[in-house]
Amino acid sequence: MKQKLEEIKVQAKAALEAADSTQAVDEIRVKFLGKKGELTAILKQMGSLSPEERPVMGQLANEVRGEIEEAIAVSLKEMKAKAQTARLEKEAVDISISGKRKENGSLHPINSALEDLIDIFRSMGFDVVDGPEVETEYYNFEALNVPADHPARDMQDTFYLTDSMLLRTQTSATQIRTMESRKPPIRMIAPGRVYRSDDVDATHSPVFHQVEGLVVDKGITMCDLKGTLEQMAREIYGKDTKVKFRPSFFPFTEPSVEVDVSCSECGGKGCRVCKGSGWIEILGAGMVHPRVLAGCGIDPEVYSGFAFGIGLDRLTTTRHKISDIRLLFENDMRFLKQF
């Protein structure tokens, strides 16, 4: 029996040496130590031994069991360590490799000009409203004092979608929507895309951007308009910028003006940016026509207002001395990366 026990020990250890997976080790444990295992089978024969032999063999059997258990534990530990080393090797990260540089995006110059305008007007108490690009004739023309047969409709070549639906030619349509839905005091700006069937060239695009402004309250005068626009121009073009009003005509404002700012490039002497005039035209404006107010249910005897429409693309090109408006729309990365 003693010899048998020794044999089991040697066999178990040899098997463990050869084992190459935890699963194999597990099988060895069952084979030698399990309920139906070889050691158990021997212990079952203990009954046939003499009372003197029994404790000696019992002790020996326990020693063998202990040794095999220990060998199993050692072998499992080794395997775990090996597996971990292998994993670490596989997952090794070379921290000396240089990183991949992520390119930072930047705002499109039109958007950054718009964000500046929004900041400037918000600080003066304006809020920002939105209006649809697909408009009705009513909001784009009629309510703005441009009846169907009015020659002013020819001022803006219009993309019609149906007989009465069109792509808005001016953000002024949002003036009407705002006055219909709100009571004075009103102070809003409405930025957005507008459409006119113009041919593309260095200064024209069939899609461009305006920022409409509207203030309606008691006692609003042309002085308020001038002060507001001067403040805006100084913040956009620099604090020495001057603003000039030229008489003009829009059907929905009376009086109407076109507004020039002194050229920030040459300070008014005349240069390439201002085409020699010293001034840059950036917007149309005026006092809201009494008929427009009345049409929106606002009593022109009580309230007055001013409105303006900034040409955002022109503001952007002159601000950055960009010579061709097309650059703003072509999405050439070499151009856009400069901002």
For ligand PHE, the closer CB: 274 or 285: 285
DSSP three-state, residue 297: coil
309 binds ligand PHE (CB under 6 A): yes
305 binds ligand PHE (CB under 6 A): no
For ligand PHE, the closer CB: 75 or 178: 178
Distances (CA, A) of 77 to 72, 84, 187: 9, 11, 77
User: Which of 179, 190, 307, 325 touches ligand PHE (CB under 6 A)?
Assistant: 307
For ligand PHE, the closer CB: 37 or 309: 309
List the strands of the sheet with 207-217, edge to edge: 127-128, 186-195, 207-217, 304-311, 279-288, 253-262, 243-250
Distance from C-alpha of 48 to C-alpha of 3, rounded to nearest angstrom: 16
CA dihedral 140, 143, 147, 148 (to 10 degrees): 40
For ligand PHE, the closer CB: 75 or 158: 158
Strand locations in 219-252, DSSP E? Answer: 243-250
User: Which of 184, 278, 286, 295 touches ligand PHE (CB under 6 A)?
Assistant: 286
For ligand PHE, the closer CB: 172 or 178: 172
User: Which of 140, 172, 228, 318 touches ligand PHE (CB under 6 A)?
Assistant: 172
DSSP three-state, residue 330: coil
208 binds ligand PHE (CB under 6 A): no
Considering only residues 229 to 268 of the shown chain, the ones binding ligand PHE according to CB under 6 A are: 250, 253
145 binds ligand PHE (CB under 6 A): no
Distance from C-alpha of 102 to C-alpha of 105, rounded to nearest angstrom: 9
DSSP three-state, residue 64: helix
Nearest to 139 by CA among 307, 302, 292: 292
191 binds ligand PHE (CB under 6 A): no
Segment contacting ligand PHE by CB under 6 A, of 40-48, 103-111, 261-269, 306-314: 306-314
Burial (CB count <10 Å: 0-12, 13-18, 19+), residue 234: middle
Provide the minimum distance between the beta carbon of 120 and ligand PHE in the complex, in angstroms, as a whole number: 17
User: Which of 140, 145, 158, 170 touches ligand PHE (CB under 6 A)?
Assistant: 170
State the residues that interact with ligand PHE by CB under 6 A.
170, 172, 250, 253, 284-286, 307-309
